[in-house]
Each structure stands twice: as structure tokens, then as C-alpha cells.
Chains A and B, each alone.
Chain A
Amino acid sequence: MSLLWLRVAVVLYGIAALAVLPAALYDRPRWRHIAVPAALAGVFFHFVSIVETLAAAHRALPVDTHETLSWLGLLLVVAFLLLAARAHTVSFGIFLLPVAALLAIVPAFHPGHETLAYPQLRTGWLLLHIALLLAAYAALFISLIASLLYLIQERRLKQKLSAPASRLPPLETLDQIALKALLFGLPCMTAGLLIGSVVALETMGPAFFADPKVLLSVAMWIIYMLMIFIRRHRGLRGRRAVYWSGFVFLGVLAVWAANSLSAVHRFKTP
């Protein structure tokens, strides 16, 4: 049954992703009334699906990459809904909704059947570690999108173009969203990494810290902090902000990819 709910969620995300295009790009604000409810309904079914999956597997944690990415997809749609409510913009949906649909589509149509390799890891702390890091990744992704939208809006204003893209938020709003997303993501990433380190130290010992994934995660954290520092003190905006956000985002992808190189950061049964 959980698979059915996840598939329904994917379809709803797809509808929302299509409906958001005329609302955000073609000055047709009424489409917002389809995009937002569809995304909201998608979040509901997605959440039900995750709860049912975990309850059926008698575990509280995602065990494989697809499952974890599906959680990230859920967070991205939640972020889209929050931005629609607080900043009155659906423009972020142009990127967030298709990505969320893609992240959920693999577990929806090709589910894994893995179980936890270490039953002793069923702890709330580890769940918090995963949730915080996913929130940090989502925040970083939103910051990247906000910077991209800033670039589009900036170009549009400089080239003196009217519609399309006239429904994009003002530059200052986009800049604030990008900065606030980073400021939200930093404590999430810091706490997530700290919790993961403490749990790893207790269960696997100091060898865990020599793992490539762990080292990359620390490097990413340092770059993340550096980016916030530069943004705040030099007023980083526009093209350079996109480069920085893109660079950090590549770092995140590298950390994900490092799972295959990691000898210790594996939780599913071989």
C-alpha cells in the first residue's frame, strides 16, 4: 500500500511541477491554485507512504540511497510550500517540484528490500543525524535555486525584458531567501555532523574518521561556512553567488557519491 501512496505522490508532484510553469513564467497566477494544492496533497501521500514503509519494516531509518533521496524530495516540496506561503512565490517550484518528483520516482517504481545491517543503530539520534543533514542539503539546494533565479531576474531587468518571468520575486527577496536558507542549513549541517560523529565514535571507534566520506563531509562543512562568511561580509550576489552555491552543491554530490567508497558508512545488509 505504501508504494501506491508514493506513486500517487509522484503523480501529484508531476501535476504541481507542470502547473507551476504558467503561474511562474507566463503571468497566469490562477495556475498557482492547482500547483500548491497538488503539492500539498503530494506531501501528504508521500508522508503516509514513508510512515507505512518504516512501520512495515520495523525500523525508523532509511537504509538505501533511493529511500533517503525520497525523504529529501519530501523536504524539498515542504520547502516549496513554505516559500509559497511566506514569500508568496511559486517560482521555486520550477526547479524544486521536478527534482522532488525525480527523487521519489525511483523508490516508487523500483523499491528496495534491504534491511538494516546493524540493528543496534535503530536510535533516535541517528534519525536526527539523517534528518538534520537532509534539511541542510535541502537548504543548500534552495539557496542555489534562489541564486539562479536572482541571476535570471537580474538579466531580465538589465535587458529590459517584460514577461515571461515577470512573476519572479524581486531581487532583494531572492537574495534574502538564499541567505536565510544558508543560515538555516548551517546549524542543521553542524548538528547533523556532530551527532553522526558521536554515534560513529561509540559504535565504530576512531577508524570512522579516516573514512573518505567523513573527510569530504568535513571539507564541505568548511566550504559551507566560508560561503556564508563571504556572503555576509562582502555582499556576495548574482553570478558569483551562483558559482559559490554551485561549488558547494557539487561538494554535496561528492559526499553522496563517497558512499560507494566508504567502508563504514553503510547500513544495509550486503
Chain B
Amino acid sequence: MSSHSNPNLLLLGVNHTTAPVEVRERLAIPSDRLADATRTLAHQPGVREALILSTCNRVELLTVHESNAGHAAVSPSGSAAPGTEMLRFLQDYLDVRVTDIQPHVYEFRERDAIRHLFRVASSLDSMVIGEPQILGQVKQSWSVAREVGAIKSTEATGSTGAFSSVLDPLLQRAFSVAKRVRTETQIGSTTVSIASVASELARKIFGSLAGKTVLIVGAGKMSDLTARHLIQQGATTLLVSNRTEAGAEAIADSLRTPAITTGVIPFEQLHEQSFRADIIITGTGAAGHVFLPEQARTLLQRRRNRPVFFIDIAVPRDVDPAVNSVEGCFVYNIDDLQQVAAQNQSARSREAETAESIVSREVARYTERLAQAPATEVIKQLLQDAETTRLAELNRLAAHQALTPEQFAAIDRLTKSLTAKLLHPQIAALRDSRSTTGSED
């Protein structure tokens, strides 16, 4: 490291557990301003590297400070008020008062910051544990920070001799920890939202949803969300039936994309036409059942017994529970879906314990390697100086004495061996001292 001061790692932020949405939305940095915000943060006094992670559930600033500057910035009076400069950055950049956000802010330093980052990337700190989007969001922030020069890439710093990047290897390690957590645990193998549970169940019935037809009966936010999920999973035809045709048209329009075919079924023809749908989402708000077992049997006959999946999110229910007894009909109401989601959530929590131990091990391994890094640099320099001196002396000798190739080779071997033996105690002492410092840290 050409800069001989020790950099300080600081992570400061708010998330869904510490701040209400009113605070989070004031701190959120839109993706089109992320590059500018990261650049501005990186140019704050004493900041060497910076990264901003801004999602709907968290805003976090990860910075590396120059040793002295960092202390001065985070603890100006020697009291426990670190991160002042970062808070000031938020105040200036986002026009929010420090006093408004300070009670919600958490901060982590060094090892704790590493642990927090690993947990965030592995989706252990997410609102929905195990959700996969967060890793992509961290990668996106890392990519933006590299683009604007707020994080120096490891390769570049190695070749130019500038200070070694702290954040680049740390982020890369965080990605591999997240990957390890995902492959070694089942944390992301189940779905936990109502819409995704419905979509997962549809896949258990139909396999791929490609080419499948979804029928929405009635209007509602949940129906809309579930239909969108099914379309994302490959459903290609969307039919809508509503008491008012204009309402049905409006729903179809709101969900229409170039990739899907949409159509409207008049409500009075619902039972004659519903055989066309593989998945029927109902949310009418009708007082009685819209689908009865007899109608379900007729529907199945017209489908030549191909299965049909009813997602009944209406309260009171639209589909008679007895329809589930009809062979080939699968009925899930809102409680059933919530129950599956809860089971999946508890399975995720169990897996999260395994994931936490993976993260702990990885944090220990990474901090140990970090503690060794400065010693490695010094050792490398020591060996290089010794080798330069040895070669200079060897060449000086060869210039003054007529040596045979065998004699030259023998002296070369001897000096190499001597150098190694003389340096060994110093190298060992350096390694020991760094390990002790690292473990004390």
C-alpha cells in the first residue's frame, strides 16, 4: 500500500427496521441520481472510497476514510457521534435535517461493517429474508461506484501503485458469500408473497406457464398483482370478466403488453367461456359463490379434463370450497395462499440460521486476511530490497572477478540461501505481530 495510513471502513444507513417509510422515502436516492450522489460522497473530505445502496427498504452509505481524516470526521469531539460528515452529506445532498434522521440511523465500523454488508448481500437483512433482488441492487451500486471512480478497481490499483482498493475486494467477497449462502442453503428456494405463491402453485400444476390463459373475474389490486406475476412467468393470454364491460376493458388495458393477447368475456357468459382459462383469479365481491361444483364439472368436461386452477382472493369467497373436490380442479383461497406463504417464511427462517453461520465464518476469514494484508506488503518490500542488494553485490563481484559459470551459480545459490535465512526471523515476527493485532481488533 503506498498510502501508509490505515483506512477506516464505515457503514451508515437506515433500513425498514430502523426507519418508517416517511423517513426512508426522503432519503431514497433515485437510480438516475445514484452516480452523481456517489461521486459527491466520494469527494467529501477524508473519504477515499464510497458506495451508496439505495433500495425501497434501505439507504446505506459505505465509505473508506483516511485514518486521521476519518477519525476527525466521524468523531470531531472525541465523543460518540461518528458519521457526522456522512450525515452532513445526506443533509446537504438530500435537503433533510440531520436531527430528523439521526434517531433512525445505524452505523457499523470495520468488522461490523463487513458483517453487515455480507448479511445485506446475502439477503439476511432484507424485509423478506432470502429475496433475490438485493444482490442485484448491491451489484448495481458497486458498478455505479466503479464507473464514477468512487471505488478503484483492484486490478487498476495493483498496476498503478496507487492506494489499494478496500471496497472492491470487499464487495467481490460479499458477492461470493451471497452466492455461497444461496447454494449451500435453501433460503431462496421458496416463495413468500401471495402473488408469487399463487404463481408457484400454478407451476406445480402446469409446469411451464408458457402459452397458458389467465382469466380475471372481478377487479382488485390483488387480482391485478397476481395476474401480472403469472404473465411474468410466461402466461400469454389474459381474459377479463367484470360486471361492467368498461371495467373489464380498463383492467385488460392496464395489463396489456405487446407479448400477451387480451380479451373481455361478458359477465353473463362467464360460465360458458371460462373453460378457455387454465388459471382463474376471482375477486368479485359477490355475496354468493360464483363458481359451483356443477359448473366446475361442466367446465372440466369442455376442457377434456385438463386441470384448472382457481385462485380465489375474494372475501366472501367466489368459489364454492366443494369445487376443490372435483377431480382436476384446484382451489386456493386467500387463507390457503397466506398459509403456504407463512410455511415458506418459517422454512426460510430455519435456513437463515445456517446462512448466519456461513456469514460469521466468512467475516472471520476476511478480517483475518485483511489483518495480514499490510504485513504482506511490508514483507514483499523487504524481500524485494534484499534481492536487489543481493543481485547488485553479485554483479559487482562478477565484474571484478573472473568466475566460471559453475562458480557464479554456486555463489548465487549461497547468497540466496543466506538472504532467506537472515530474513526469516524478521518475516516471522512481522506475520505474528499482524495476526495478534488482527485478533485483538
A residues bordering B, Cβ < 8 Å? 27, 153-154, 157-158, 160, 162-163, 169-173, 234-239
A153 to B305, CA, bound (A): 16
Cβ A27 vs Cβ B186 within 8 A: yes
Q: A160-B336, A162-B343 are in contact. Are A172 and B206 (CB under 8 A)?
A: yes
> Would you list which residues of chain B between 289 and 332 have a CB under 8 Å from chain A?
303-307, 324-325, 327-328, 330, 332
Find chain B residues with CB under 8 A from A162 CB. Answer: 340, 343-344, 347
For residue A152, give the distance in angstroms from its CB to the closest CB of chain B.
12
Interface string of B336-374 (1 = CB under 8 A from A): 100110011001000000000000000000000000000
On chain B, which size bracket covers the interface? 20 to 34
Cβ A170 vs Cβ B332 within 8 A: no
Find chain A residues with CB under 8 A from B336 CB. Answer: 160
Q: A171-B307, A237-B305 are in contact. List 15 more A-B contacts (CB 8 A).
A: A153-B204, A154-B327, A157-B205, A157-B330, A158-B330, A160-B336, A162-B343, A170-B203, A170-B207, A171-B206, A172-B207, A172-B307, A173-B207, A236-B305, A237-B327
Q: What are 23 A-B contacts defined by CB distance under 8 Å? A: A27-B186, A154-B327, A158-B324, A160-B340, A162-B340, A162-B343, A170-B203, A170-B206, A170-B207, A171-B205, A171-B206, A171-B207, A171-B307, A172-B207, A234-B304, A235-B303, A235-B306, A237-B305, A237-B327, A237-B328, A238-B305, A238-B327, A238-B328
In the complex, residue of chain A having the shortest beta-carbon distance to the beta carbon of B206: A172
B270 within 8 A of A: no
Cβ B204 vs Cβ A157 within 8 A: yes
For residue B312, give the distance in angstroms from its CB to the closest CB of chain A.
13
In the complex, residue of chain A having the shortest beta-carbon distance to the beta carbon of B304: A235
Cβ A171 vs Cβ B204 within 8 A: yes
Find chain A residues with CB under 8 A from B186 CB. Answer: 27
Find chain B residues with CB under 8 A from A163 CB. Answer: 347
A170's partner among B204, B304, B347 (CB-CB below 8 A) is B204
Find chain B residues with CB under 8 A from A171 CB. Answer: 204-207, 307
Interface string of B97-133 (1 = CB under 8 A from A): 0000000000000000000000000000000000000
Q: A160-B336, A162-B343 are in contact. Are A239 and B203 (CB under 8 A)?
A: no
A178 to B340, CA, bound (A): 29
Find chain A residues with CB under 8 A from B203 CB. Answer: 170
Q: A170-B207, A172-B207 are in contact. Are A157 and B327 (CB under 8 A)?
A: no
B201 within 8 A of A: yes
Interface string of B261-304 (1 = CB under 8 A from A): 00000000000000000000000000000000000000000011
In the complex, residue of chain A having the shortest beta-carbon distance to the beta carbon of B183: A30
B305's partner among A27, A160, A170, A235 (CB-CB below 8 A) is A235
In the complex, residue of chain A having the shortest beta-carbon distance to the beta carbon of B207: A170
A154 to B206, CA, bound (A): 12
Find chain B residues with CB under 8 A from A234 CB. Answer: 304-305
Find chain A residues with CB under 8 A from B189 CB. Answer: 27
B332's partner among A154, A160, A237, A238 (CB-CB below 8 A) is A160
A236 to B206, CA, bound (A): 16
A173 to B206, CA, bound (A): 7
Find chain B residues with CB under 8 A from A173 CB. Answer: 207
In the complex, residue of chain B having the shortest beta-carbon distance to the beta carbon of A237: B305
A238 to B340, CA, bound (A): 24
Cβ B205 vs Cβ A172 within 8 A: yes
Find chain A residues with CB under 8 A from B344 CB. Answer: 162
Q: Which 4 A-B pairs have the closest CB atoms?
A: A235-B304, A235-B305, A170-B207, A173-B207
In the complex, residue of chain B having the shortest beta-carbon distance to the beta carbon of A241: B305
In the complex, residue of chain A having the shortest beta-carbon distance to the beta carbon of B306: A235
